[in-house]
Amino acid sequence: MECIDFFGVKSFNAYMSITKEKIGGRIKNALKAAGITQRAISKSLGVGESAVSAYVQGAAEPSANGLFVIAQTCKTTTDWLITGKGSGPGEADGKVNETQTDYSKQDTGLSKTSTAVMRAVIEGIEEYLEEEDLELRPAKKADLVLTLFEMCMEEGKEVDKATIIRLVRLAV
């Protein structure tokens, strides 16, 4: 297995562990800033308190919908929860916290750039997996998407096939 340097971390699993800890810390900070308990957010998410505790500790990550609910509830953005960039707790505009039933009109908290990068990451990974007739567990695929998304956002780079190939090979 080749060794790729992920921002100074020499293994994919170690990088993902650090990433989960960072997201967990941001979730913890967002909940604290909004004065929301883990019990209250667990009810909003429809998960047990132990799941929220795992999110905060960096042992697990919420689903995309879970991140959206946390962002809405804590008056922040999913972009900030994932990357630490953008509006932090209490800094987001009022749109993030409005209750809407038409999901196509909801503000996800992602900027247009972030949304485009996320779409390119997902499509690139799906395309490569299909080309190579590979399958990954949904959790592993989600980890790859998150890793590549963060790499692109932090470095300001576009999604490239070479990076997708390296990451998928590490994950398989």
User: Residue 11 and residue 3: Cα distance in Å, rounded?
Assistant: 6
| pTM for this predicted structure | 0.48
* Site of tokens 């990433």: 19
- pLDDT tens-digit map of 95-138: 433 333 333 334 445 566 777 788 888 888 888 988 999 888 77
Contacts 24+ apart (CB under 8 A), 122-130: 124/148, 124/159, 124/161, 124/164, 125/164, 125/168, 128/161, 128/164, 128/165, 128/168, 129/168
What pLDDT was estimated at residue 95? 42
- pLDDT tens-digit map of 29-67: 999 998 999 999 988 888 899 999 999 988 888 887 788
Structure token pair of residue 133: 């007739």
